[in-house]
Amino acid sequence: MPGYSDDKIAPQERAASSTHLLFWLPLVLISLGSCSLEPVELRLHPPATGAADAATLQLIFEQKSRLRVVSAQVDDSRSGLELLANREVDLALIENSSPFQAGVRVVLPVYISVLHLLIREDLDFSDPVQPLRGTTIFINNGSPAGRAFTRMVASKQGLEEGQYRIVSELVPGETDLIIYFGPINTRNPSWYVPGYRLYSLDYDDTERAMSSKAIAYLMPQMQPKVIPAHTYDLPGNEKDVHTVAVDALLATHKNTSVNVIYELTRTLLEQKPRFTAVAPAAFAGVREDFDPLSLNFPLHEGSRRYLARDEPSALERYAESINLLVYLVFLVLTGAVGLTRWHAHRKKDRVDAFYSRIFAIRMRAMHEPQEQLRIELRQLELEAFESLITEKLAADESFRIFIELLTRAMAELERDGPADSQS
């Protein structure tokens, strides 16, 4: 423009650009921050009857973390383990007795899943050898632990699958046995069906092959458990009910984000009092001091990192050993440097001795025969080179000076020799 120079326009443009940058930068930072705070949704396989549901979990997660747990809409006939392996859900409660499935990882044990064995009140279950013969069995929630328990007990009784029957639907009054694995929850025994009673696995008659202790030995992930008398106001619990139990594990897929599972683990452990206040039966087993080696599935890396958060790092664990190693290396290096210097000093002392012998010969040249002195110089030269070959001397600047002195002394004797013979 006329009357305005580029030098005047440029600063104004730069000032305007800086103003725009200062205006937009906070907005960008706010938008990025809001994106990072967006809740992460996790699809939970509907838990077993009597355990906590997704709504119970979300009640605390929405307040204490950036996680959002929702109930997955899936086929109830399929197990949580299968759905996890196929990535159709993000979280599922599985039993520690379930067979290993590639890709499945454990977050934490959450509660103890106890076997509640119900038998029809009018069922004749008195056969001491094969009480399961001819019975129909309903396994609540399709529990893998329930199926494993049934197969193991039937096998001990010498029964094949055709001699007893597992049914997919419960028909009250017709189905003989109901098997339910879940927490001891006196608030909500929704698994109970009228007309049935709790059955205890321990009897004086050991031929029944249904002792809880024997089952625990045959299925190491299951442990003997006692439901104390009058825990439930249900038939059969007028006295102690001996049964078995297995850990229920909150599991996920190995490809679930490490940061998400770290946050999930942190929330479950730090907010355990809140969870147990809402659903004590479902979260009583949440703890940090469990043994990962007792699990049928590996820990997820996110859980592993949270549980190891207070453990010393490798550098801290081996700090003393590293300090000792550094000290020893320093001693070795110091000793090596000292030895090298001492060895070099010895070589220098030997060269100095050769210097002194050359100077002595030169002093003797004033009153001794030259020929004899030349012979001594040649012998001195031969001795010096032998020391050089055997590494008693170093081929360094000191040796070069020695050669120059030797050469000069030889030249002086050669120069003065004829004059002495003429005289």
- Give pLDDT tens digits for 188-239: 888 899 999 999 887 544 455 567 777 877 888 888 899 999 999 999 999 9
Q: What is the 3-state secondary structure (H, E, C) of 76-120?
A: CCCCHHHHHHCCCCCEEEEECCCCCCCCEEEEEEEEEEEEEEEEE
Length of the chain, please?
A: 423
Indicate the range of 39-48, 234-243, 374-383 predicted with least confidence.
39-48
pLDDT greater than 90 at residue 402: no
Q: What pLDDT does 206 receive?
A: 46
- Tell me the average pLDDT across 109-130: 86
Residue 32 pLDDT > 80, yes or no? no
Q: What tokens appear for 383 in the block?
A: 């001795």
> Average pLDDT in the 122-133 region?
81
Q: Report pLDDT digits (tens) over 45-56.
A: 876 555 555 566
Task: Report the pLDDT value the prediction gives residue 230, as an integer from 0 to 100.
Answer: 93
Q: What's the confidence (pLDDT) of residue 192?
A: 92
**What is the H or E stretch that residue 322 is in?**
helix 319-364
Q: What is the pLDDT confidence band of residue 377, given thresholds at 50, 70 and 90?
A: confident
Q: Which of 6-15, 72-81, 329-338 has the highest mean pLDDT?
A: 329-338
DSSP result, 370-421? HHHHHHHHHHHHHHHHHHHHTTSS-SSHHHHHHHHHHHHHHHHHHHHHHHHH
Question: What pLDDT sits at residue 228?
Answer: 94
The model carries a pTM of 0.63
Structural domains of the chain, with CATH: 40-311 (3.40.190.10), 319-422 (no CATH)
Percent above pLDDT 70 for the chain: 82
